[in-house]
Amino acid sequence: MELKEYKDCSILNKLKQEEDCPKMLLTITNFAFSKMVQNLMHQLDSEFESKRGRPAYPRTLILIVVLYCFSIDIANYTKMEEECKKNKFLLIVTCGLKPSRNSFANFLNKSDVKVIKKVFIATLVLLNDLHFLDFVKLFVDGTDAIVRASRNNKITPKDVERLKLMNEWNLLHNNTPKSINCTINGLEEKLEFYKNDEEMCKTINSILKRINLYNTNIFSKLDIYTKILNERNT
């Protein structure tokens, strides 16, 4: 199914014209129309055209609705369908169409798994960094199937302890290349200092392998990670 608004990407402009449009929805829509995500969505559009043999809603349309519904604590397919019927902003996103619960179920359960994982990993990282979505539980201990595919986003009990250690050493970075390089240099100095301590060297090398994890933003959520992990152990 081809929609003019999706071919010319005018959906975002229409939303911006709405003074009370939620900032979250604008952010999600802008993200969905980014070049990287669009390349992935085109793969899914082609899949549905070739395998289903019937017109399907643009995958970008479904992605925007799903992410926005997740952000307002709607994860049930039927409730997503209902939200599309009554939410004036989602009516703009869907061009007045009303996707059924099956559309959302098929998108999440029958799409190419590798593509879906890439889309959602990118979504989690971006929106979490922007502090828009509380996806923190998806990151803890690799429980979520999507997050399990990204070794950089899985948080384990050992990582919690290593984050505390990095904070004590004042070596947490802020995700900029310069800051990450400083952290790496600091860890290399620690390796030299603890060269006779096998366990400490093992810990430092483990940190270096996942250097992107050890940043101030992740550390700021340490209490939440710890609480979730403790709940799972009780």
pTM comes to: 0.54
pLDDT score of 209 more than 80? yes
pLDDT band for position 128 (cuts 50, 70, 90): low
% of the chain exceeding 90 in pLDDT: 35
Is pLDDT larger for residue 188 or for residue 1? Answer: 188
Q: What is the pLDDT of residue 233?
A: 60
| pLDDT for 137 beyond 50 | no
Question: pLDDT band at 142, cuts 50/70/90?
Answer: very low
Determine which of 26-35, 198-207, 217-226 has the lowest per-residue pLDDT on average.
217-226
**Least confident residue range of 50-64, 173-187, 196-210, 215-229:** 50-64
With a cut of 80, say whether residue 170 has pLDDT above it. Answer: yes
Confidence class for position 141, pLDDT limits 50, 70, 90: very low
Percent of the chain exceeding pLDDT 70 equals 75
SS (H, E, C) the chain: CCCHHHHCCCHHHHHHCCCCCCHHHHHHHHHHCCHHHHHHHHHHHHHHHHHHCCCCCCHHHHHHHHHHHHHCCCCCHHHHHHHHHHCHHHHHHCCCCCCCHHHHHHHHHCCCHHHHHHHHHHHHHHHHHCCCCCCHHHHECCCCCCHHHCCCCCECHHHHHHHHHHHHCCCCECCCHHHHHHHHHHHHHHHHHCCCCHHHHHHHHHHHHCHHHCEHHHHCCHHHHHHHHHHHCC
List, for residues 9-56, the tens digit of each pLDDT value. 688 889 999 989 998 899 889 888 888 888 888 877 665 554 444 456
More confident site: 146 or 112: 112
